[in-house]
């Protein structure tokens, strides 16, 4: 915690507390804390029917940590607490002009304020750190600076991880007086961040403070004063996007590349399985960082499930295509749309036609003057034959190529839709 601002507060509090003698200070403390006139267990007001007003101001230095799994938020800061103690007044002229003193620890009355929603088995008092210097002026205005680290529970919503936002509440309650004896007020409606150090993972989007009464059901107009401060924290998602989600998205597009590995090469199935294992490893690493919360399952979990499904289909498809391409001819009935696609592919191919001899055909070639062709030479007649859309003439390799084309476009559409749907919901949450 940065101690420079606290040091400035302390020096300012002590700026008028120097220059007196030991005897004068001893007399002043003896006067103020005389057992016959001061009792730290009683509210320091002459008229005990009056309500003490306590001003409560919160300063936050840094967001230390937010544990999504447990929902615990840890912050570091300090509280400035002020009230008027009618028993701690004196005439400066009688004590060497002393106008302000630092109060001895645990010798004076102070409001006991505790964190209601803090962890169990921990000291939830705001004075639990042991650092709470206090001063008072000759007019009885007391100020305490209570510094330390404070922990609370948050309402965790990981639906749009890593674009998630979370609401956290600190509730501080007065444990030694009710509203008929003490009331808390907040001079400032906001939490102070004058010396705040930014957290690398979380951004403080907004804050709010509120003073309320915790009332009993059977008691009217009487309650326990409570100060509540709220934080809305938004994750800084750039790190997660660059180091986790983007690589998985790029690797997912590699699934399309399996369509360009020829089945007869013998490497297609190996490539598909290697890609599948790589994506499983990357997805498992990302899963380790995803909050474990089944009440609101993160959308990214469904996205990773879709990624796994696409890769599983990719491996099975590669095995099917290799098996299909290994057949010399199509041995099953082919749908008309496949026949049409194969016909179009053949028409675009340069080798779609071939020259074959015509059976039982002989052509006599007559000698021509000036040539070396002798009389009686013969040749067979030939014709150009083009393969038509007959399933008997179609090879398994041609079927595999057409099916790969269909798979190529289907997998592109699935990948784009998966990313667009996830991004649309995530960005809507991010900019809301």
Domain boundary among 206, 236, 266: 236
The C-alpha atoms of residue 189 and residue 229 are separated, in whole angstroms, by: 10
Identify whether residues 199 and 173 lie together within a single domain.
Answer: yes
Exposure b/e, 235-246, CB count within 10 A at least 16 = b? bebeebeeebbe
Domain assignment of residue 162, yes or no: yes
Which residues on neighbouring strands pair with residue 182, listed in sequence order?
52
pLDDT value, residue 368: 46
pLDDT value, residue 60: 93
Q: Which of 223, 210, 180, 184 is nearest to 81 (CA)?
A: 184
Hey, what are 259's tokens? 């369509």
Average pLDDT over every residue of 134-141: 94
Between CA 52 and CA 58, with CA 53 as vertex, the angle to 5 degrees is: 135
Identify whether residues 230 and 263 lie together within a single domain.
Answer: no
pLDDT value, residue 1: 42
Domain boundary among 205, 236, 267: 236
**Counted domains in the chain:** 2
Domain boundary among 216, 236, 256: 236
Whichever domain contains 143, its CATH number is 2.70.170.10
pLDDT value, residue 118: 66
Q: Each residue of 54-80: pLDDT tens digit?
A: 999 999 999 999 988 788 899 999 999
Q: Each residue of 383-398: pLDDT tens digit?
A: 444 544 444 477 777 8
Identify whether residues 105 and 32 lie together within a single domain.
Answer: yes
Identify whether residues 308 and 407 lie together within a single domain.
Answer: yes
The C-alpha atoms of residue 201 and residue 165 are separated, in whole angstroms, by: 12
Domain assignment of residue 351, yes or no: no
Identify whether residues 160 and 90 lie together within a single domain.
Answer: yes
pLDDT value, residue 78: 92
The answer on pLDDT for 295 being more than 60 is yes
For residues 379 and 287, the model is more confident at 287
15 in the Ramachandran plot: left (φ > 0), alpha (ψ -120 to 50) or beta? alpha
The C-alpha atoms of residue 305 and residue 286 are separated, in whole angstroms, by: 12
pLDDT value, residue 5: 54
Domain assignment of residue 389, yes or no: no
The C-alpha atoms of residue 365 and residue 322 are separated, in whole angstroms, by: 51
Whichever domain contains 287, its CATH number is 1.20.58
Query: In angstroms, how far is CA 69 from the centroid of its own chain?
Result: 12
Which residues on neighbouring strands pair with residue 295, listed in sequence order?
none
The C-alpha atoms of residue 134 and residue 271 are separated, in whole angstroms, by: 71
pLDDT value, residue 9: 53
Q: Is the dihedral of CA 95, 100, 106, 107 positive or negative?
A: positive
C-alpha separations of 231 from 74, 173, 198, 374 in Å = 12, 18, 14, 106
Residue in the structure block whose two tokens are 């179609």: 394
The C-alpha atoms of residue 195 and residue 330 are separated, in whole angstroms, by: 76
Which residues on neighbouring strands pair with residue 228, listed in sequence order?
171, 210
Phi, psi of 283 (to 5 degrees): -65, -35
pLDDT value, residue 76: 92
Q: Work out the burial of residue 25: count CB atoms within 10 Å of its CB; fewer than 13 is exposed, 13-18 middle, 19 or more buried.
A: middle
Residue 131: CB atoms within 10 Å: 14
Domain assignment of residue 378, yes or no: no
Cβ–Cβ < 8 Å for 158, 83: no
The answer on pLDDT for 92 being more than 50 is yes
pLDDT value, residue 86: 93
C-alpha separations of 41 from 26, 45, 108 in Å = 23, 12, 8
Q: Each residue of 340-375: pLDDT tens digit?
A: 777 777 777 655 455 445 455 444 444 545 545 444
Question: Residue 24 — pLDDT band, cuts 50, 70, 90?
Answer: confident
Hey, what are 316's tokens? 């099975």
- For the ranges 55-59, 77-81, 162-166, 224-228, the lowest mean pLDDT is seen at 162-166
Between CA 148 and CA 160, with CA 154 as vertex, the angle to 5 degrees is: 130
| Mean pLDDT estimate for the chain | 79
Identify whether residues 139 and 192 lie together within a single domain.
Answer: yes
Question: Residue 176 — pLDDT band, cuts 50, 70, 90?
Answer: confident
Domain assignment of residue 400, yes or no: yes
Query: pTM for the complete prediction?
Result: 0.70
Q: What percent of the chain has pLDDT over 70?
A: 78
DSSP 244: I
Identify whether residues 99 and 174 lie together within a single domain.
Answer: yes
Domain assignment of residue 382, yes or no: no
The C-alpha atoms of residue 241 and residue 212 are separated, in whole angstroms, by: 41
Q: Which of 230, 188, 189, 180 is nearest to 207 (CA)?
A: 230
pLDDT value, residue 58: 92
pLDDT value, residue 390: 46
Residue in the structure block whose two tokens are 């103690």: 85
Angle between helices 246-254 and 299-325 (to 10 degrees): 20
Identify whether residues 150 and 218 lie together within a single domain.
Answer: yes
Identify whether residues 275 and 189 lie together within a single domain.
Answer: no
The answer on pLDDT for 211 being more than 80 is yes
Average pLDDT over every residue of 265-276: 87
DSSP 149: E
For residues 369 and 292, the model is more confident at 292
Average pLDDT over every residue of 224-246: 87
List the end-to-end C-alpha distance of the chain, in Å, as a whole number. Answer: 33
Domain assignment of residue 130, yes or no: yes
Q: Which of 216, 220, 215, 222 is nearest to 179 (CA)?
A: 222
Cβ–Cβ < 8 Å for 139, 89: yes
Radius of gyration of the chain measured on its C-alpha atoms: 42
The C-alpha atoms of residue 182 and residue 176 are separated, in whole angstroms, by: 9
Domain containing 187 equals: 4-236
Identify whether residues 161 and 267 lie together within a single domain.
Answer: no
Domain assignment of residue 358, yes or no: no
Question: Residue 88 — pLDDT band, cuts 50, 70, 90?
Answer: very high
Angle between helices 396-431 and 246-254 (to 10 degrees): 160
Max mean pLDDT among 28-42, 135-149, 242-256, 334-348 falls in 135-149
The C-alpha atoms of residue 237 and residue 160 are separated, in whole angstroms, by: 11
pLDDT value, residue 75: 93
Identify whether residues 183 and 290 lie together within a single domain.
Answer: no
Question: Residue 14 — pLDDT band, cuts 50, 70, 90?
Answer: low
Phi, psi of 8 (to 5 degrees): -65, -40
Strands (DSSP E) contained in 17-84 are 52-67, 72-84
Identify whether residues 298 and 173 lie together within a single domain.
Answer: no
């Amino acid at each position: 915690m940065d101690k420079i601002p606290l040091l400035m507060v302390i020096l300012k509090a002590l700026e008028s507390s120097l220059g007196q003698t030991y005897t004068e200070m001893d007399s002043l403390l003896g006067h103020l804390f005389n057992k016959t006139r001061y009792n730290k267990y009683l509210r320091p007001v002459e008229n005990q029917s009056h309500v003490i007003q306590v001003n409560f101001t919160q300063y936050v230095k840094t967001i230390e940590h937010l544990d999504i799994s447990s929902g615990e938020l840890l912050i570091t800061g300090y509280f400035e607490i002020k009230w008027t103690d009618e028993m701690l007044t004196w005439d400066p002229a009688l004590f060497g002009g002393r106008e302000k003193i630092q109060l001895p620890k645990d010798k004076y009355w102070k409001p006991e304020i505790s964190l209601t929603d803090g962890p169990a088995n921990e000291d939830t008092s705001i004075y639990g750190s042991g650092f709470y210097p206090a001063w008072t002026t000759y007019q009885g205005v007391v100020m305490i600076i209570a510094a330390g680290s404070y922990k609370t529970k948050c309402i965790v919503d990981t639906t749009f991880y890593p674009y998630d936002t979370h609401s956290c509440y600190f509730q501080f309650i007065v444990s030694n007086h009710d509203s008929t004896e003490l009331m808390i007020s907040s001079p400032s409606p906001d939490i102070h961040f004058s010396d705040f150090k930014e957290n690398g993972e979380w951004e403080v989007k907004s804050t709010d403070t509120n003073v309320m009464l915790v009332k009993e059901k059977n008691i009217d107009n009487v309650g326990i004063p409570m100060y509540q401060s709220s934080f809305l924290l938004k994750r800084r998602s750039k790190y997660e996007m660059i180091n986790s989600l983007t690589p998985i998205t790029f690797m997912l597009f590699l699934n399309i590349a399996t369509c360009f590995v020829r089945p007869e090469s013998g490497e297609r199935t190996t490539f598909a399985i290697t890609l599948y294992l790589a994506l499983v490893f990357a997805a498992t690493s990302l899963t380790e960082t995803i909050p474990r919360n089944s009440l609101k399952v993160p959308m990214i979990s469904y996205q990773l499930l879709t990624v796994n499904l696409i890769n599983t289909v990719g491996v099975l498809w590669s095995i099917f295509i290799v098996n299909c391409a290994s057949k010399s001819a199509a041995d099953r009935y082919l749908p008309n749309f496949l026949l049409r696609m194969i016909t179009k592919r053949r028409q675009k191919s340069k080798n779609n036609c071939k020259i074959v001899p015509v059976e039982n055909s002989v052509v006599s070639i007559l000698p021509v003057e000036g040539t070396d062709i002798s009389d009686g030479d013969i040749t067979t007649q030939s014709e150009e034959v083009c393969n038509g859309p007959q399933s008997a003439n179609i090879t398994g390799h041609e079927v595999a190529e057409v099916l790969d084309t269909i798979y190529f476009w289907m997998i592109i559409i699935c990948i784009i839709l998966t990313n667009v749907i996830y991004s649309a919901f995530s960005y809507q949450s991010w900019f809301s």
